[in-house]
Amino acid sequence: MKHSVYSLDKSDNRKEFVSGMRDAIPIALGYLAVSFSLGIMAKKAGLNPFQSFLASLTCNASAGEYAAFSLIMVQASYVEVAIMTLIANARYLLMSCALSQKVTAQTSVFHRMAIAYDVTDEIFAISVSRPGYLNPNYSYGAITLAAPAWAIGTALGCMAGNLMPSRLVSAFGVALYGMFLAIIIPVGRKNKVVLGIVVLSFVLSYLSGVLPGISQVASGTRTIILTVAISAVAALLFPRPEDEEVAHES
């Protein structure tokens, strides 16, 4: 029988919230470190620590913020900044659509929008891998740690300015990728189909960045194309078993 996440009592919702915070601890630590380099970029663009903090708190997306700060540096118009940020972050629209299938039909528009506020690659990964329906409180717990960490790291990086050694900034940039691997590897070990799709995604992503023609396309657009194509083919070739669908609804 179908049920709503809101039929859970307060103790269950509290457990989901705490679980989300616990799973987001490595994400928050990674965000705090990686956003240092983003803060340095914000400093070059002329933003002060508070402005960089506010920018990261309202737009938790490295590619989108780098694009925005780059345009601010060349004094681009507000419209240009808005359009470029939309294009760079368009992949999150796909992730939000995927997460909409993880919540019950009774989930209100407010909760859907609140979850969508901070759909990042890492939070999407831990949310979509949750068994059964996604309780919004789980996402709120993850966001409670991850979003402030990203914003605080950006502000601290802005304060540091250009004083940090370039090697240290480069090391910070690698940390987030290692953290993301730690999220997807356990899921891939449990499901060989998922593992194969992840490996295929890595290969195609690399090829799209070096092959003539497609490598000239913006990285955000390439990500969208690959995401839609790979997920569509995977859904057709490896549909979710009916018994698993029933388990999600019972």
The percentage of the chain sitting over the pLDDT mark of 70, rounded to a whole number, equals: 80
**Same domain? 200 vs 170:** no
Q: Are 40 and 155 in contact (CB under 8 A)?
A: no
Tally the domains of the chain: 2
**Same domain? 176 vs 241:** no
pLDDT of residue 73: 83
pLDDT of residue 243: 46
pLDDT of residue 25: 92
Which whole number is the average pLDDT over 65-78? 82
How far is C-alpha 233 from the geometric centre of its chain's CA atoms?
22
Exposure letters 137-155 (e unless 16+ CB within 10 A, then b): bbbbbbbbbbbbbbbbbbb
**Residue 35 lies in domain:** 5-183
Please determine, for residue 32, whether its predicted confidence score (pLDDT) is greater than 60. yes
**Same domain? 172 vs 238:** no
Q: What is the rounded distance in angstroms from the CA atom of residue 146 to the CA atom of residue 28?
A: 4
**Same domain? 178 vs 199:** no
Q: What is the rounded distance in angstroms from the CA atom of residue 247 to the CA atom of residue 107?
A: 19
Q: What is the rounded distance in angstroms from the CA atom of residue 208 to the CA atom of residue 202?
A: 10
Q: How many CB atoms lie within 10 A of CB 160?
A: 17
Mark which of 162, 183, 204 sits at the end of a domain: 183
Which range has highest mean pLDDT (124-133, 143-152, 217-226, 230-239)? Answer: 143-152
pLDDT of residue 250: 44
pLDDT of residue 100: 85
**Same domain? 130 vs 226:** no
Mark which of 148, 183, 218 sits at the end of a domain: 183
**Same domain? 28 vs 134:** yes
For the chain, the C-alpha Rg in angstroms (whole number) is: 19
The closest alpha carbon to 122, from 181, 185, 188, 35, belongs to 181
**Same domain? 177 vs 235:** no
Q: Report the C-alpha dihedral over residues 101, 138, 147, 24, rounded to 10 degrees.
A: -110
Q: What is the rounded distance in angstroms from the CA atom of residue 163 to the CA atom of residue 192?
A: 45
Please determine, for residue 180, whether its predicted confidence score (pLDDT) is greater than 70. no
State the amino acid at position 46 in one-letter form.
Answer: G
What does the block give as tokens for 53?
């903090």
Which whole number is the average pLDDT over 57-86? 82
Q: Model confidence at 52, in pLDDT bands (50, 70, 90)?
A: very high
**Same domain? 178 vs 232:** no
Which whole number is the average pLDDT over 5-19? 74
pLDDT of residue 138: 92
**Same domain? 245 vs 129:** no
222 vs 14, residue with greater confidence: 14
10 vs 47, residue with greater confidence: 47
Mark which of 150, 183, 216 sits at the end of a domain: 183
How far is C-alpha 179 from the geometric centre of its chain's CA atoms?
12
pLDDT of residue 3: 43
Place of tokens 């989901």: 16
pLDDT of residue 249: 45
Which whole number is the average pLDDT over 162-188? 65
Please determine, for residue 229, whether its predicted confidence score (pLDDT) is greater than 70. yes
**Same domain? 206 vs 169:** no
75: left (phi over 0), alpha (psi -120 to 50) or beta: left
Quote helix, strand, coil % in the chain, to nearest 5. Answer: 80, 0, 20
Name 3's Cβ contacts closer than 8 Å, sequence gap at least 6: 104
Ranking 3-7, 10-14, 57-61 by mean pLDDT, the lowest is 3-7
The closest alpha carbon to 95, from 249, 239, 231, belongs to 231
Average pLDDT over the chain reads: 80
Per-residue model confidence as pLDDT tens digits over 129-163 = 888 888 999 999 999 999 999 999 999 988 886 66
**Same domain? 174 vs 201:** no
Cα 125 to Cα 9, 85, 122: the distances in Å are 26, 22, 5
**Same domain? 39 vs 142:** yes
Which range has highest mean pLDDT (18-22, 103-107, 131-135, 195-199)? Answer: 18-22
